[in-house]
Structure 1
Amino acid sequence: MTRRGTAPPHPATELRIGATMALPAALRSLGANPAEVLAGAGFDLSLFDDPENRISYAARSRLLAHCVDSTGCQHLGLLVGQQADLHSLGLMGLLVKYSPDVGMALRSLVRFLHLHVRGAVAHLELDGDLAMLRYDIYQSGTVATDQIGDGAVAAMFNILRTLCGPDWKPTEVRFAHREPEDVRPFRGFFGAPLLFDSALNAVVFPADWLNHPLPGADPELRRSLQAQIDALEAEYGDDLPGQVRRVLRTALLMDQARSDQVAKLFSIHSRTLSRRLNACGTSFQELLDEGRFEIARQLLADTRMEVHQIAETLDYADASAFTRAFRRWSGSTPGQWRKNHKAARLRGK
């Protein structure tokens, strides 16, 4: 299922519509006609007939932006995401569900998320007695990143609640965008401390929950599911630049983005990584700059973080070094880009 008038997207840019299946219902709850709103963006309502239908990540982001503009609802992504759960993930959701414990379930989610969505990456990070499940967007040209992030965080919250049970509570929920004018929908749904203007979208919770056994664990069924997922992974494949892009988003935010550090993740030497990327028509530095530029634009557009804070997040020596790089990428300073972006958004309303 594709947008009218466009060629089918390459598999490397697609995602299952599953996690966005609640969009028509969310539009109805806001008093809008889903068919009319979707048609205004060039999409058919039938796209949502089957969770296995696919759409490009960029097209999905433009659709969400259009729906927000049409309804005026600034928490539409949250409304959609709070209806998503393991069932939204299809085959991968079953693999997660039948894992032996929460830790293994989340590691499977992180490992195979690319079969569900191409354009973002999940990461499970441990810090002392806390665990953090993150969702990072790496697809360039993505709009409505605040809505996508809200939906992803809500979905991760639901998945964790399903795996851990009603006694589970997050320590903190983080959003990579500024605090909305009306924060009540967020407080009502999450019931936990909220941190806006963060560099990342994440759910933070006590790490002890990773050892929590899952009552539905079924080793035999899980082996069967794993075999099916392995077959899917072999069918989809991935070029090396695509794999590096997924890794770099998380690596940049963890200050682990040197070429030797990234090469180690692929069990190869940095020279081998460089040679293989060159054979694909790109370079590690180009992908690194692309990742930094994408993160910088998201943080400038969606948060109130100061330029020096963004520079620190991206591991620049100081704000001036970041500003020089950003001017090279975009032709303007970060401050001017933010001002122009804000003006463009206001004109679009």
Structure 2
Amino acid sequence: MPSDDLSGQDLPLYSAACQEISCKTERSVPIDFVHIHAVQAICEILIELDVDPESIFEQAGVSTQIFSVTDAISFASLGRLTALAANHSQCAHFGLLVGQRTTLASLGLLGSLMRHSETVGDALRALEMHHDLLNRGAVVELSTDGTVAIVSYAPYEPEAEGIALHCERALAALTIVLRALCGANWSPDEVLLPRLEPPDTTPYSSFFRAPVRFGQEIAALVFPTRLLRRSIKGANPVARKTLERHIQQLEAVIPTDVTDEIRRRLRTTAIRKQINGKQFAQTMAICRRTLSRRLKAKGTTFKLIANETRLGIAKQLLGDTDMSLAQISAALEFSEPAAFTHAFRRWTGTTPSAWRKECRLQ
């Protein structure tokens, strides 16, 4: 590798990437994995709060030796671990604390690619495109509407625990990343969180330095579109091309799964519009019959996965927000609340109201 391809501080990341590519070709990577950096952050925060990590890790079913044997944890396990840590530490904003431990360096090659992107918009689009290198349980999406830009984080694991904590962790991490690219004084115009408002909102307003809206249907940062055009100081186009090439090598050895891909794509459209199997097959450039055959081999169907995805979103909004049934029904594109209630009863055997009440009692 010529010395001018990567900056000096990126060379260690390149070497690590080569080793990672080699390792991933020899071992299976879980489909729903999340990079282990968040687990390290949880351990550190618990120690700082004078809480013994050992028992919490044991309750979560996560080995304390995980750091020496793997670089990934399942999305569900991370959510369970974060929820237990928040409960035992009695820290309602625990996910926020975990996200604040993020750095561009902790994102590995993807963090370096973002730092060497030409503009902030290019960096966020790189994160959107390659987020599955770090997290295969959620999607990041960048969208614009006139003068307003929104970067959102949407979990697609249907029954994962601690979704609200996952979301606040991700938005805190996104804020840290944007401050690394734009300057420490950067703040969003607005923060949207799909969780109940905690008794003390000061940690959120102090960190984000912006209005925080709780009980929302999505997790997102809102900011002016013009930010996307801001140049990133010190970006190296040669390093960027090299990093893109090696990221593509990493992605090539991560196993793909058609059901995982469907859940990912459905999650980005479920709040805005419904998509059927034929439309999805077209986005994958395969025929509907081929898609059905692949799903049948896995013992499932497109309709079943779509229903699981919508049910997961419904449970998240029922459990983690105070949105009304009418609001949730509209968000999930049901014709009316009665149709949503009927579908939820068919999926779960109970009504949305009864499920919400039972969830709040736990």
Q: Do they superpose with TM above 0.5?
A: yes
> Structure 1: how far apart are the matches of 2:265 and 2:237?
29
Please name the residue that 2:204 is paired with.
Answer: 186
1:27 maps to a residue whose letter is: L
Shift in CA distance, 19/66, structure 1 to aligned 2, threshold 3 Å: closer
Please name the residue that 1:217 is paired with.
Answer: 235
**What are the residue-to-residue correspondences of 1:303-314 with 2, within 5 Å?**
303-314=321-332
Following TM superposition, by how much is the alpha carbon of 1:282 offset from its aligned partner in structure 2, in angstroms? 2.6
2:30 maps to a residue whose letter is: P
Shift in CA distance, 260/210, structure 1 to aligned 2, threshold 3 Å: farther
> Structure 1: how far apart are the matches of 2:253 and 2:125?
22
> Structure 1: how far apart are the matches of 2:62 and 2:297?
37
Do the aligned residues in 2 keep the contact of 1:133 with 1:202 (CA within 8 Å)? yes
User: Does residue 289 of structure 1 match 2:307?
Assistant: yes
Shift in CA distance, 165/261, structure 1 to aligned 2, threshold 3 Å: farther
For 2:270, what is the secondary structure of its paired residue? helix
Do the aligned residues in 1 keep the contact of 2:42 with 2:85 (CA within 8 Å)? no
Following TM superposition, by how much is the alpha carbon of 1:85 offset from its aligned partner in structure 2, in angstroms? 2.5
For 1:253, what is the secondary structure of its paired residue? coil
Alignment TM-score, normalising by the size of structure 2: 0.87
For 1:287, what is the secondary structure of its paired residue? helix
Deviates more, 1:262-271 or 1:160-169: 262-271
Please name the residue that 2:346 is paired with.
Answer: 328
For 1:217, what is the secondary structure of its paired residue? coil
Following TM superposition, by how much is the alpha carbon of 1:274 offset from its aligned partner in structure 2, in angstroms? 4.3
1:287 maps to a residue whose letter is: I
2:89 maps to a residue whose letter is: T
Following TM superposition, by how much is the alpha carbon of 1:240 offset from its aligned partner in structure 2, in angstroms? 1.7
Please name the residue that 1:202 is paired with.
Answer: 220
- Unaligned stretches of 5+ residues in structure 2: 1-26
- Unaligned stretches of 5+ residues in structure 1: 1-7
Shift in CA distance, 37/101, structure 1 to aligned 2, threshold 3 Å: same
**What are the residue-to-residue correspondences of 1:167-178 with 2, within 5 Å?**
167-178=185-196
User: Does residue 23 of structure 1 match 2:23?
Assistant: no
Please name the residue that 2:19 is paired with.
Answer: none
Please name the residue that 1:87 is paired with.
Answer: 105
> Structure 1: how far apart are the matches of 2:296 and 2:59?
42
Please name the residue that 1:5 is paired with.
Answer: none
Please name the residue that 2:116 is paired with.
Answer: 98
Aligned match for 1:65, one of 75, 83, 87: 83
Deviates more, 1:277-286 or 1:191-200: 277-286
> Structure 2: how far apart are the matches of 1:109 and 1:116?
10
For 1:150, what is the secondary structure of its paired residue? helix
2:190 maps to a residue whose letter is: E
> Structure 1: how far apart are the matches of 2:39 and 2:231?
29
Following TM superposition, by how much is the alpha carbon of 1:106 offset from its aligned partner in structure 2, in angstroms? 0.6
RMSD of equivalent CA atoms: 2.1
User: Does residue 230 of structure 1 match 2:257?
Assistant: no
Aligned match for 1:318, one of 336, 344, 347: 336
> Structure 2: how far apart are the matches of 1:154 and 1:200?
15
Between the two proteins, what is the percent identity of the paired residues? 39
Aligned match for 2:160, one of 131, 134, 142: 142
Do the aligned residues in 1 keep the contact of 2:37 with 2:106 (CA within 8 Å)? yes
Please name the residue that 1:3 is paired with.
Answer: none
User: Does residue 76 of structure 1 match 2:76?
Assistant: no
Shift in CA distance, 41/256, structure 1 to aligned 2, threshold 3 Å: closer
Following TM superposition, by how much is the alpha carbon of 1:100 offset from its aligned partner in structure 2, in angstroms? 1.1
**Alpha-carbon displacement from aligned partner over 1:65-114 (angstroms, at most 9, x marks no partner):** 21122111111111111111222211211111111111111111011111
Please name the residue that 2:316 is paired with.
Answer: 298
Following TM superposition, by how much is the alpha carbon of 1:272 offset from its aligned partner in structure 2, in angstroms? 5.3
> Structure 2: how far apart are the matches of 1:49 and 1:156?
27
Alignment TM-score, normalising by the size of structure 1: 0.90
